[in-house]
Amino acid sequence: MTTSAVTISSGSKSYGAKPRATINMDTSNPNAPVTISVKTRERVGRGSWKNINTTYTQGSDGMFRGSDGKIWSEEYSGGGGIVRSAMGKILMKSNPSDETIKEFGSNVTGAYTKDIRDEVAAGANAKGNDPGETIQETPGLDQQFRSELAARAPKRQYYGNYRYPSTMMDGISDYMKIGMHEYIPGKFNASNRATDRMRGSRTMGTVLLPIPPGLADANTADWSANSMNQLQLGGAAAASRVMNSQNFGTALKKEASSALDALKENAGISVAAKALLLGKLPGMEGGTAGVLGRGQGKIINPNMELLFGGPALRSFNYTFRLTPRNPEDTRQCKNIIRFFKQGMSVKASPGGLFMDAPNVFSVKFYHGSGGQHTFIHRIKMCACTSFTVNYVPDGTYMTLPDSSMTAYDIGMSFQEMDPILDSDYGSSNEIGY
């Protein structure tokens, strides 16, 4: 067990001094509970203060809660981010394995797997002073273009954790958590499903929002009508026997002989075969159905059946009204909009020849107490296919004193990256997918 103290520099002004949080975490066991002991001061009289020590435990959503289930108040003012950043530093000092870092996930910040650390190290020059952000001189480029290249930020590894409203987490209200993850290609491995691949990737940031209105899902599968008449069924059966035979030539002759015998012995098959041939003649626009329909008032039985054509990928659309009610809400709204806009954007690759895939997103629903909701559907890893913002949702341009809009209407569309299988439901007692 590792213990470390950190000062919450963004602490609430109501405290007599900046609160200090003592972190207790087992860096070797991601499943062990992480607690913080927060020391604050409370005024008890003129010039008199009382020290208060409160313990908070980190939930599965990364937030710290007291014994009453309520969110630690400093989560609203940045204190939680400071603690999680300190946890990341503590974890990295313990020289953890990549598996351990992935298991801690978004519960800590600033802890990166070896491939990310190598990527950063590869950006350093021979002297080890270049963090990989310097653009090298390229002959033939004018000064303006070089300036534009230099102004470009390197590929982000972390996008921050945000919530709206900033005072939403009361330990009672259910909420929606959207996490951002790096896209990992499948490498031509059919068994390497998208959700399984991305579930093991690092979490690059999260957004917590209220449960959206009109929450719904629709599971679909592709089924379509298929027809195969008796002549086609017989031909398919004959072809199958020929393909599965040891002697292709002999089997082919045998099936041809059987077909001729059937034409002689079965008058119905003979009529259908003749109509089929007539329907193929030039100018016979009605085809076989037209020949039989006009000549005998019948058609060949199509043996129609509904056949499975494949799975379908679900899509989800959500809309939210963001109405800042205080400076912290204003900051959170701006960051949430940027979070989705930048996260779903394509990534430039070195050299400019290729473009890397955008980040992908996990969408989950939680009880106010922090546990994942069992009465709402689960969603697989998703791509964000659309994100819209209406900056004047009420039809009139209005701003707050800090120039923030008085309200934003945001809409987002997600599509699951792989289909739902029966085995995905498992044996847990929940609605599932």
- Same domain, residue pair 317 and 406: yes
Q: Report yes or no on 125 lying in a domain.
A: no
Q: Indicate the burial class of 63 (C-beta count within 10 angstroms; 0-12, 13-18, 19 or more).
A: buried
Q: How far apart are CA 6 and CA 20, in angstroms?
A: 6
Instruction: Provide the residue-wise pLDDT of the chain in tens; the chain has 433 residues.
Output: 777 766 665 444 444 456 788 899 998 888 889 998 888 877 777 767 788 888 999 887 777 888 888 878 777 566 777 888 788 888 888 888 888 888 887 778 777 777 666 654 554 443 444 443 443 444 444 444 444 444 444 566 788 889 998 876 666 789 999 999 988 888 877 777 888 887 767 788 999 999 998 899 999 999 999 888 776 777 777 777 767 777 767 766 666 666 555 555 555 665 666 666 555 555 555 566 655 655 666 777 778 899 999 999 999 999 999 999 888 889 999 999 999 999 999 988 777 788 889 999 999 999 887 788 999 999 999 999 999 999 999 888 998 888 899 999 999 999 999 999 998 887 778 899 9
Number of domains in the chain: 3
- Same domain, residue pair 252 and 278: yes
- Same domain, residue pair 318 and 411: yes
Q: Distance between terminal CA atoms of the chain?
A: 37
- Same domain, residue pair 322 and 191: yes
Q: How far apart are CA 300 and CA 158, in angstroms?
A: 64
Q: Report yes or no on 413 lying in a domain.
A: yes
- pTM, entire model: 0.59
Q: Report yes or no on 126 lying in a domain.
A: no
- Same domain, residue pair 175 and 253: no
- Same domain, residue pair 200 and 319: yes
- Same domain, residue pair 238 and 298: yes
- Same domain, residue pair 204 and 322: yes
Q: How far apart are CA 142 and CA 212, in angstroms?
A: 49
Q: Report yes or no on 245 lying in a domain.
A: yes
Q: Report yes or no on 119 lying in a domain.
A: no
Question: Which residue pairs from 228-237 have beta carbons closer than 8 angstroms and sit at least 24 positions apart in sequence?
Answer: 228/302, 228/303, 229/272, 229/300, 229/301, 229/302, 229/303, 230/269, 230/272, 230/300, 230/301, 230/303, 231/269, 231/272, 231/273, 231/276, 231/300, 233/303, 234/259, 234/262
- Same domain, residue pair 208 and 338: yes
Contact partners, residue 250, CB within 8 Å, separation at least 6:
none
- Same domain, residue pair 86 and 197: no
Q: Indicate the burial class of 84 (C-beta count within 10 angstroms; 0-12, 13-18, 19 or more).
A: buried
Residue ending a domain, choose from 80, 112, 144: 112
68 is in which domain, residue-wise? 1-112
- Same domain, residue pair 239 and 385: no
